[in-house]
Chains A and B, each alone.
Chain A
Amino acid sequence: AQSVTQPDARVTVSEGASLQLRCKYSYSGTPYLFWYVQYPRQGLQLLLKYYSGDPVVQGVNGFEAEFIKSNSSFHLRKASVHWSDSAVYFCAVRWYNQGKLIFGQGTKLSIKP
């Protein structure tokens, strides 16, 4: 069955530190990959997406993600986090020729001052 796993429900990092949020998916086939962010009391906003080409994609606010096909992973990274990055981050996958997007469970990011 198709699934998306974010193994870390909560991550806490210090302001200015680097960040990696993990995402793995299971299923063969061609995936479209997304990272969304949800700030408190808001809907979801797109951070970045990948469908082909350079496996490292750049998003908004200094975020990037790397698609590693051999590992079925699409981890999100940021070199230096800011307190405003506190939010819930969702990884999502849509497989080719399918109408629906499948979400991971989400990772809540907290930033220590």
Chain B
Amino acid sequence: EAAVTQSPRNKVTVTGGNVTLSCRQTNSHNYMYWYRQDTGHGLRLIHYSYGAGNLQIGDVPDGYKATRTTQEDFFLLLELASPSQTSLYFCASRTRDWGGAEQFFGPGTRLTVL
């Protein structure tokens, strides 16, 4: 079974604070994704990556940076957090071998910006 882990699971910060969310996958997958989930919006793609050192802009990238340091690790950075970034964040991975391949999701990180 494919495995995606996220840390921390919960995070509270203040407006203007720095936050780093971590994601690790042990599936040897090429693609990794960061989403945010908000009521009424479903999951929206923030950034994604095809492999180590690669970064692609998603649909809601403003206020977020991301970095893919290795095949396994993908980080989401909020350098000046704002209350509008309070959300549930999911990381996912998939193989690139086939477009119909499933994405495997982590358990999520709940971020609150006060």
Interface, chain A (partner B; CB < 8 A): 6, 9, 32, 34, 36, 42-46, 49, 51, 90, 94, 96-106
- How many A-B pairs have beta carbons closer than 8 Å: the answer is 57
- Whether the Cβ atoms of B43 and A90 lie closer than 8 Å is yes
Determine how close the nearest CB of chain B comes to the CB of A51; give it in whole angstroms.
Answer: 4
| Distance between Cα atoms of A32 and B99 in the complex (Å) | 7
Main secondary structure of the interface of A (DSSP, over half): loop
- Whether the Cβ atoms of A43 and B106 lie closer than 8 Å is yes
Interface, chain B (partner A; CB < 8 A): 4, 31, 33, 35, 40-45, 48, 50, 56, 58-59, 90, 92, 96, 99-100, 102-103, 105-108
- Whether the Cβ atoms of B107 and A43 lie closer than 8 Å is yes
Q: Which residues on the B side are within 8 Å of A36 (C-beta)? A: 105
Query: Which of B42, B44, B102, B106 is in CB contact (< 8 Å) with A49?
Result: B102
Most buried by B among A32, A36, A43, A97: A43
**Nearest 8 pairs between A and B by C-beta?**
A51-B100, A43-B105, A105-B42, A32-B100, A103-B43, A44-B105, A103-B42, A106-B42
